[in-house]
Amino acid sequence: MFITFEGIEGSGKTTQIPCLVEFLEQAGYTVVTTREPGGTAIGDQIRNILLDFNNTDMQIRTEVLLFQASRAQLVEQVIRPSLAKGFLVISDRYADSTLAYQGYGYQLDLAQLQEIVRFATGGLKPDLTLLLDVDVEEGLRRRFGGGGKNRLDAYDPDFYHRVRQGYHLLVQAEPQRWVVIDAGRSPDQVQRDIRRVVHQRLSQKNEKQ
Ligand code: TYD
């Protein structure tokens, strides 16, 4: 089973995922975790290019393609082989980030992006996507405090409002794949919800097998 986490900056993905993994491993699952951009040796090099403050000339289409290059490598090198072995794969961001950030945030053509994403992933979609949903101002306060930590952090609040709204539109388009978690609460409460949702999906899947 392939599970992805999505959400704007400060939604808590990076805190929540390791806690979920610990819980699942204790329950006997073999879990492979990964993140985007990056997650492979080649992908991590691409990540460095994407995040580097010095790359002020980077064009938005270049950015889109670099995200997809990192993703294509990750899908072939890590995600597909792990799923084939029956492992659980959990990714901190995946294709929906491109649609939310480059599509809704930067307002690039969504249909074109969907096509490029399909090419990069070879059509591989998550079985379950959790949206850690947090108020934009709260997320930005949690994450940045003062200023951005890398080149991709230089966006304004309006941008993140569009991204958040975009995520909700993606949820509406595919409600069976998504679960929205209210990430404005305490980390413990959020983790409890995440575990409940994932546990429920895993037991449904095991029943079907
Ligand atoms: P990162 O430091 O990993 O942030 P986070 O902890 O919020 O995931 O940086 C990833 C940044 O890249 C984040 O701002 C979202 C952005 N991004 C896109 O714009 N498009 C994409 O396809 C992906 C995967 C990420």
> Strand ranges (DSSP E) for 36-166?
88-92, 128-133
pLDDT band at 47 (very low <50, low <70, confident <90, very high): very high
Residue 4 has pLDDT above 80, yes or no: yes
CA pair distance 78, 129, nearest whole angstrom:
18
Residue 147 has pLDDT above 70, yes or no: no
CA pair distance 32, 25, nearest whole angstrom:
10
Q: Give the pLDDT score at 141.
A: 87
Q: Is the CB of 34 under 6 A from ligand 1?
A: no
Q: Give the pLDDT score at 205.
A: 82
What's the pTM value of the predicted model, to 2 decimals? 0.94
CA-nearest residue, atom 4 of ligand 1:
9
Among 132, 123, 198, CA closest to 168:
132
CA pair distance 139, 81, nearest whole angstrom:
34
Among 63, 67, 62, CA closest to 43:
67
Q: What percent of the chain has pLDDT over 90?
A: 85
Q: Is the CB of 93 under 6 A from ligand 1?
A: yes
**Tokens describing residue 68:** 């997809």
